[in-house]
Amino acid sequence: MAAITHPDYAALVDPLFRYAEKRVGENVFIKLDYNYMSSTPNIRLTVPFFMVRDMEASLEFYIGKLGFKMTHQWAPREKIEWCSVERDAATLMLQEPRDSAKFDLEGEHGKGVSICFQCADALALYHEFMAKGVEIKEPFVGNNMWVVAFNDPNGYRLDFESATDVEEETRYSEWSPLTP
């Protein structure tokens, strides 16, 4: 237990349960989450978790075409059912359901989901992904960012974006010296 010197807090903080007690009345205390008292951010990372119809096809796409690397996996039945993939500072989790028939009955997956990757150079990724056979809509400028957008095999929209001073709504073919 660690001592607290502030008069409105109880004399002890429990580091195991990460809370403190704050005085709110005569001999009345409420528990406070210790993380709020810390200068270290509590929420540090968001990791999208995609349910996928076919893990093998998804891994071919994310690893083979987009250049991600598998960092963790769970294969309880000699087949990967869950994994984590990373590229640079981006992480995604993929899971294939055991009951694919039930999964299929749940409706269209990925619809309405868009993951935006903030990049140093989205257009470099556009050329890299196109060279690996990814079908991509023509990049455009939106909100002062080059937007390279496409869907993964499960219908999840992936947007790779980077800042630009090119005029809004400019299409890549209107701007690029590399386009015929």
Print pLDDT tens along the chain (180 aa). 444 445 544 444 445 445 555 555 565 555 555 555 556 787 888 899 999 999 999 999 999 999 999 999 999 999 999 999 999 999 999 999 988 777 777 777 778 889 999 999 999 999 999 999 999 999 999 999 999 999 999 999 999 999 999 999 999 999 987 654
154 and 70 in a single domain? The answer is: yes
* Concatenated DSSP letters of 47-97: --EEE-S-HHHHHIIIIIIT--EEEEEE-TTSS--EEEEEETTEEEEEE--
Domain of 9, in residue numbers = 2-37
pLDDT of 98 reads 87
130 and 83 in a single domain? The answer is: yes
167 and 93 in a single domain? The answer is: yes
Is the C-alpha dihedral spanning 125, 126, 128, 134 positive or negative?
Answer: positive
Domain assignment present for 101: yes
69 and 152 in a single domain? The answer is: yes
65 and 154 in a single domain? The answer is: yes
pLDDT of 116 reads 96
80 and 154 in a single domain? The answer is: yes
Residues 145 and 161: beta-carbon distance below 8 Å: yes
Q: What CA–CA distance (Å, rounded) separates 24 from 88?
A: 46
Domain assignment present for 42: no
69 and 109 in a single domain? The answer is: yes
pLDDT of 108 reads 79
* Concatenated DSSP letters of 13-33: EETTTTEEEEEEETTEEEEEE
82 and 53 in a single domain? The answer is: yes
Residues 29 and 21: beta-carbon distance below 8 Å: yes
pLDDT of 101 reads 75
pTM: 0.74
pLDDT of 43 reads 83
Domain assignment present for 159: yes
**Given the structure tokens 């409420």, which residue do they identify?**
30
12 and 62 in a single domain? The answer is: no
Residues 55 and 94: beta-carbon distance below 8 Å: yes
19 and 106 in a single domain? The answer is: no
Q: How many structural domains does the chain have?
A: 2
Task: Enter the DSSP assignment of 120.
Answer: S
Domain assignment present for 180: no
pLDDT of 24 reads 56
State how far Cα 157 lies from the chain centre: 12
pLDDT of 23 reads 55
